[in-house]
Amino acid sequence: MQKYFFFLFLTNLFICKSQSQAKPEFRGVWVATVDNIDWPTKGNFNSEAQKAEFIKLLDMHQRNGINALIVQIRPAADALYPSQYEPWSEWLTGVQGQPPVPYYDPLEFMITETHKRGMVFHAWMNPYRAEFTIGTSSISATHITKLHPEWFLTYGDKRYFDPGNKEVQQYVAGVVKDVVNRYPIDAIHFDDYFYPYRIAGVTFPDNASYQQYGNGLTKDDWRRSNTDSIIALLSRVIKATNKKCQFGISPFGIWRSVDRDPVNGSKTRGGASNYDDLYADILLWLKNGWIDYVAPQLYWEFGHRTAPYDLLLDWWNNHTFGRQCYIGLGIYKANVNKAWRETSQLPRQIEALRTKPNIQGMIFFSSKSFENNPNGWSDSLRLHYFKEPAVIPAMDWIK
């Protein structure tokens, strides 16, 4: 009889546990600091007020069922943490190079508060942007553009590291290694900005590097090889420094269209692509295991004329190569057009990605969009889609 009741107790415990927790799923939010998009509020340079803002942000997402924050800590060769390499960010203190007052370490604070709530923290870095707006951005005397002006190229109104410069790649790897070594982050996260998006009629001015390092490759192949080499280098550096730290990339939603690649391309029409315009061969990185997850930015609606959400969702589900895939969802697009005024648009996207066997979750862009509960979608997450808590999906290749 005792054995029977013990078995009944275990059965009921298992049932209760299965009912109170959803299957593993990554539920993330991007928190952009560049130009004070999400945090801290523009003009808020008081440390205690910044902390209070971040806690309010965290608590909002925790209520909504989010289990991961992807926070931008290096928006333009600057830092939201004390760094031996780069100056304090102007979006944190108002003047690049000026430390917080009263002094605190924002990255340490954010990681601690995020982990305290059972959420994971991914440190989001922009690899090559160095000056956000030439002439108006605050640039300190110790900024790398001042110390090594020969490393940089001007394109449009921005200044970028030269991706073909080998010293640049080592420098960026040093910045990443420093963060992985000093902070208990769960992942390093890069977005879609490798080579910059094309400006019509303007050529990216990297001829000098191409002449020096091109080694017989076409310029397009050479540019892709530069992006491949920085990703491979960072993968090695991250794992050698902390083997449990993940490395993820959030690319533009189209790898390559079928008109350029009839075998592997998606049936999208026109527009930019990672492979041909940003020189980022995401599929190669997945095949080679250089990255642990990919988070394609699928900010289009169902039935979009050139890049339908459902078509691209299927394409990415079929091209993960055993790595994890989280879909980037554009909650920021609420009410921008007829499709995004439909209250069912975002819920349908969540339901669709949950039917795909190789998709393990989603990331929303961006945090600020949740504050006004657009189309009731914050309520939908809190009361329905994320009502039951979910753990982060495990990665079998990370022991």
Is 86 inside a domain boundary? yes
Q: In which band, very low, low, confident or very high, does the pLDDT at 20 lie, cut at 50, 70 and 90? A: low
Is 14 inside a domain boundary? no
Is 280 inside a domain boundary? yes
Is 11 inside a domain boundary? no
Number of domains forming the structure of the chain:
1
Question: Whole domain around residue 32: which residue ranges?
Answer: 25-385
- pLDDT for 14 beyond 50: no
Is 398 inside a domain boundary? no
Percent of the chain with pLDDT strictly greater than 70: 95
Q: For 26-83, write each residue's pLDDT tens digit.
A: 999 999 999 999 999 999 999 999 999 999 999 999 999 999 999 999 999 999 999 9
Is 19 inside a domain boundary? no
Is 399 inside a domain boundary? no
Q: For 298-319, write each residue's pLDDT tens digit.
A: 999 999 999 999 999 999 999 9
- pLDDT for 326 beyond 80: yes
Question: What pLDDT score was predicted for residue 271?
Answer: 82
- CATH value at residue 218: 3.20.20.80
Kindly report whether the global pTM for this prediction surpasses the value 0.75. Answer: yes
For the segment 110-122, the average pLDDT, to the nearest whole number, is: 98
Q: Are 385 and 352 in contact (CB under 8 A)?
A: no
Q: For 203-231, write each residue's pLDDT tens digit.
A: 999 999 999 999 999 999 999 999 999 99
Is 395 inside a domain boundary? no
- pLDDT for 11 beyond 80: no
